Structure 1
């Protein structure tokens, strides 16, 4: 793992997103599963669906980071692309009935920043490993 930026990043991001997913359940008591407005975890709005998504993404990244360079790189690329899409679409979902993961402005910034980091590392590091995404 020390020699692969993709494995290191996937492991770190995976652990952080797993932790955020777990901590999110401590603040979402009484919030509907897919409520358009959630409770704040620090400055980020979360609802139970948002927490489940964090757990799934965190688990995938952590497992990828602990498995292989190719899997970590592919997951960083895929999650980065999805977060880029979520970050952009999220800008239009605020105060909308379609906002089923209770996004707020801070979430959008975090998703866009995560996308830049994940995509940047996936596309620039571990060049000898072919990505399939």
Structure 2
């Protein structure tokens, strides 16, 4: 009887991490697919393979490229795979994904700053390989902070191994 109760508690504390990773994975997959849909992505014909020259915008707001959309698709598959593999992997997905998005936020802020260009000279064009605009930058910040917050929230219960 006690073993059954322990198993119920363990399952209940693991489930949220897997669910959150699966939901985020599904959202990233959807966003990646929508990035390739003309109409939902404005200026679809101006989409570049990579680089900041891409003028295509998801929902008319977020600058995207083929590479950007593929990264969303891969991030989605990774989230679904992490959820399927277990709570520990799902939590790792949230932590690493959150850190990646915070780094991407910093990259977006720094790549176009005139202060950086004044201090270090012009930014080489190959350094600006991800199309990001101000809306992308702040979305990346909130995604990163949100994923790390979720990583903290979906911790296993005290005394329960992942």
User: TM-score, normalised to structure 2's length?
Assistant: 0.71
Residue 49 of structure 1: aligned partner:
67
TM-aligned CA deviation for residue 90 of structure 1: 1.1
In the alignment of these two chains, the number of paired residues is 130
- The answer to whether structure 1 residue 99 and structure 2 residue 115 are counterparts is no
| Structure 1 vs Structure 2 CA RMSD | 2.1
**More displaced stretch, 23-32 vs 113-122:** 23-32
**123 and 23 in structure 1: CA distance in 2 versus 1, 3 angstrom threshold:** same
Question: Structure 2: where are the runs of 5+ without partners?
Answer: 1-10, 114-122
Cα deviation digits, residues 74-95 of structure 1 (max 9, x gap)? 1111111111111111111248
Cα deviation digits, residues 28-84 of structure 1 (max 9, x gap)? 445221131331111111000101111111110111123310110011111111111
TM-aligned CA deviation for residue 122 of structure 1: 1.1
Larger radius of gyration: 2
Structure 1 Cα separation of the partners of residues 31 and 112 of structure 2: 21
User: TM-score, normalised to structure 1's length?
Assistant: 0.85
Residue 108 of structure 1: aligned partner:
137
After superposition, residues 1-133 of structure 1 pair within 5 angstroms as 3=13, 4-26=15-37, 27=41, 28-38=44-54, 39-42=56-59, 43-94=61-112, 97=125, 98-127=127-156, 128-129=160-161
Question: Structure 1: where are the runs of 5+ without partners?
Answer: none
Structure 2 Cα separation of the partners of residues 66 and 29 of structure 1: 37
